[in-house]
Structure 1
Amino acid sequence: MTRIDDTFARLRAEGKKAFVSYIMAGDPDFETSREIVLGLPGAGVDIIELGLPFTDPMADGPTIQLAGQRALANGQTLDRTLQIARDLRVRDDRTPIVLMGYYNPIHSRGVPLFLEQAKAAGIDGLIVVDLPPEEDAELCIPAQKAGLNFIRLATPTTDDRRLPTVLQNTSGFVYYVSITGITGAAAAQATDVGPEVARIKAATNLPVIVGFGIRTPESARAIAEVADGAVVGSAIVSEVAQGRTPAEILAFVKSLADGAHSA
Structure 2
Amino acid sequence: MSLAEVFKQTRSEGRAALIGYLPAGFPTVDGSKDLLSAVIDGGADLVEVGVPYSDPVMDGPTIQAAAVEALKNGFRLKHLFEVVEAVTARGGKAVVMTYWNPVFKYGVDRFSRDLASAGGLGIITPDLTPDEGADWMQASDAHGLDRIFLVAPSSSEERIVRTVEASSGFVYATAVMGVTGARESVGAGARDLVARTRAHTELPIGVGLGVRSGAQAAEVASFADAVIVGSALVTQAGSGIDAVRTLSAELADGVRKTVAPA
The two structures have a TM-score, normalised by structure 2, of 0.94
Q: Take 2:188 and 2:74, find their aligned partners in 1: how far apart are those partners? A: 42
- Could you say which residue in structure 2 is the equivalent of 1:261? 256
Partner SS state of residue 40, structure 1: helix
- Could you say which residue in structure 1 is the equivalent of 2:58? 59
Residue 148 of structure 1, CA deviation: 0.2
Identical aligned pairs, as a percentage? 34
Residue 191 of structure 1, CA deviation: 5.2
Q: Take 2:38 and 2:147, find their aligned partners in 1: how far apart are those partners? A: 25
Residue 90 of structure 1, CA deviation: 2.2
Amino acid at match of 2:69: R
Q: Take 1:36 and 1:179, find their aligned partners in 2: how far apart are those partners? A: 26
1:133-182: CA deviation from partner (whole Å, max 9, x where unpaired): 11120313321331000101110001212211111210000110000000
- Could you say which residue in structure 1 is the equivalent of 2:8? 9
1:149 and 2:142 equivalent?
A: no
Amino acid at match of 2:2: R
Amino acid at match of 1:76: F
Unaligned runs of 5+ in 1: none
Q: Take 1:160 and 1:137, find their aligned partners in 2: how far apart are those partners? A: 22
- Could you say which residue in structure 2 is the equivalent of 1:80? 79
- Could you say which residue in structure 2 is the equivalent of 1:101? 98
Partner SS state of residue 114, structure 1: helix
Residue 91 of structure 1, CA deviation: 3.2
The two structures have a TM-score, normalised by structure 1, of 0.93
Q: 1:18 to 1:77 in 2, by over 3 A?
A: same
- Cα contact 1:43–1:250 (8 A) shared by 2: yes
1:218 and 2:215 equivalent?
A: yes
- Could you say which residue in structure 1 is the equivalent of 2:206? 209
- Could you say which residue in structure 2 is the equivalent of 1:45? 44
- Cα contact 2:2–2:121 (8 A) shared by 1: yes
Partner SS state of residue 48, structure 1: strand
Q: Take 2:235 and 2:40, find their aligned partners in 1: how far apart are those partners? A: 20
1:30 and 2:29 equivalent?
A: yes
Residue 231 of structure 1, CA deviation: 0.5
Q: Take 2:44 and 2:82, find their aligned partners in 1: how far apart are those partners? A: 20
User: Which residue of 130, 133, 138 corresponds with 2:130?
Assistant: 133
1:14-37: CA deviation from partner (whole Å, max 9, x where unpaired): 112111100011111122211111
- Cα contact 1:188–1:212 (8 A) shared by 2: no
Q: Take 1:230 and 1:148, find their aligned partners in 2: how far apart are those partners? A: 21
1:88-143: CA deviation from partner (whole Å, max 9, x where unpaired): 22231xx3211001111111111121111111001101012111111120313321
Alignment of 1:218-257 (within 5 A): 218-240=215-237, 243-257=238-252
- Cα contact 2:23–2:49 (8 A) shared by 1: yes
Amino acid at match of 2:204: P
State which drifts further: 179-188 or 154-163. 179-188
Amino acid at match of 1:248: A
- Cα contact 1:190–1:223 (8 A) shared by 2: no
Residue 190 of structure 1, CA deviation: 6.6
- Cα contact 2:214–2:254 (8 A) shared by 1: yes
Q: Take 1:25 and 1:178, find their aligned partners in 2: how far apart are those partners? A: 24
1:111 and 2:108 equivalent?
A: yes
- Could you say which residue in structure 2 is the equivalent of 1:198? 195
Q: Take 1:80 and 1:152, find their aligned partners in 2: how far apart are those partners? A: 24
- Cα contact 2:182–2:232 (8 A) shared by 1: no
Unaligned runs of 5+ in 2: none
Q: Take 2:137 and 2:94, find their aligned partners in 1: how far apart are those partners? A: 17
Q: Take 1:135 and 1:146, find their aligned partners in 2: how far apart are those partners? A: 19
Partner SS state of residue 167, structure 2: coil
Pairs aligned (count) = 258
Q: Take 1:91 and 1:231, find their aligned partners in 2: how far apart are those partners? A: 20
